[in-house]
Amino acid sequence: MRGPMADQQTGTEVDIEAIAATARAGLAAADDEAALESWRVAQLGRKGVLTSVLRQLAGLPIEERRRIGAEANALKTELEAALESRRLSLAGERLAATVAGGQVDVTLPGRTKRVGRLHPITQTLREMTDIFVSMGFAVTEGPEVETDYYNFGALLIAPDHPARDMQDTLYIDYQRDGAYPFMLRTHTSPNQVRFMEQHQPPIRVVVPGRCYRNEATDPTHEWMITQIELLAVDEGISLADLKGTLFEFAKRMFGQERKVRFRCDYFPYVEPGVDMSIDCFLCGGEGCRMCHNEGWIEIMGAGMVHPQILTNMGYDAERVTGFAAGIGAERVCLLRNGIEDIRSFYQNDLRFLEQF
Partner 1 sequence: MRVSLKWLADYVDVTLSPEELAHKLTMAGMESAAIENIGGDWDSELITVGNVLDVQPHPDADRLVLATVDHGGTEPQTVVCGAPNVEAGQRIAFARAGAKLIDGRSGERAVLKPAKIRGVESAGMVCSGKELGLSSDHEGILVLAADAPVGTALSTYLGDAVLDLDLTPNRPDWMSMLGIAREVAALTGATVREPQHTYDDQADENVPAVVAVEIADPDLCSRYVATVVEGVTLGPSPQWLQERVTAGGMRPINNVVDITNYVMMELGQPLHAFDFSAVQDAKIVVRRAREGEKLTTLDGEERTLTKDMLVIADAKKPVALAGVMGGADSEITEQTTTILLESATFHPGCIRRTAAALRSRTEASARFEKGLSPELAVIAAQRATKLLVELAGGRALHGYVDSYPAPAEEVRIDLTRRRLEQVLGIDLPTSKVRAALTSLGFSVRWSPPELYEVRVPYWRTDVRISDDLAEEVARVIGYDQIPTTNLSGALPSVAAQPLRNLRESLRDACAAAGMQEVITYSLTTQELLARVLPEDEMAARPPLKVAHTVSSEYEYLRPTLWASVLRTAAANLRRHDGELALFEAARVYLPPPRERLEAGELPDEREHVVGVVTGQREDRWGRASDEAVDFFDAKGYVDAALAAVGLTPALSQAERFALLPGRTGAVSVDGRDVGVIGQVHPAVAAQFDIDQDVYVFELVVDELLEVAAGDRVYESDFRYPPVVQDLALVVDRDLPADQVRSAIEQHKLVRAARIFDVYEGEGIADGKKSLALSVTYQAPDRTLTLEEVAKAQDSLLKRLAKEFSAELRA
User: Which residues inside 149-188 make contact with partner 1, applying CB under 8 A?
Assistant: 158-163, 165-166, 170-174, 176, 180-182, 184
Near Zn ion by CB under 5 A: residue from 163, 283, 317, 353 = 283
Near Zn ion by CB under 5 A: residue from 14, 155, 193, 280 = 280
Query: Which residue sits closest to Zn ion, CB atoms considered?
Result: 280
Under rule CB under 8 A, residue 138 binds partner 1: yes
203-212 vs 224-235, strand pairing mode:
antiparallel
Residue type, 287: G
Instruction: Tell me whether residue 280 or residue 320 sits nearer to Zn ion (CB atom).
Output: 280
224-235 vs 260-264, strand pairing mode:
unpaired
Residues 330, 227 contacting (CB under 8 angstroms): no
Under rule CB under 5 A, residue 353 binds Zn ion: no
Under rule CB under 8 A, residue 293 binds partner 1: yes
Closest CB 290 distance from Zn ion, rounded Å: 5
Near partner 1 by CB under 8 A: residue from 297, 304, 309, 335 = 304
Spacing of C-alpha 275 from chain mean position: 33
Under rule CB under 8 A, residue 127 binds partner 1: no
Phi-psi region at 295: left, alpha or beta (left = phi > 0; alpha = psi -120 to 50): left
Under rule CB under 8 A, residue 266 binds partner 1: yes
Instruction: Tell me whether residue 269 or residue 281 sits nearer to Zn ion (CB atom).
Output: 281
Pick what 247 binds: Zn ion, partner 1, none; C-beta below 5 to 8 Å, kind-dependent: partner 1
Q: Which residue, among 239, 233, 292, has the nearest Cα to 263 in the 3D structure? A: 239
Q: How far is CA 147 from CA 41, 178, 186, 282, in A?
A: 88, 15, 11, 40
- Check residue 58 and report its DSSP letter: G
Instruction: Tell me whether residue 36 or residue 230 sits nearer to partner 1 (CB atom).
Output: 230
Near partner 1 by CB under 8 A: residue from 32, 105, 257, 354 = 354
The dihedral through the CA atoms of 323, 329, 330, 335 has a sign that is positive
Residues that bind Zn ion (CB under 5 A): 280, 282-283, 288, 290-291
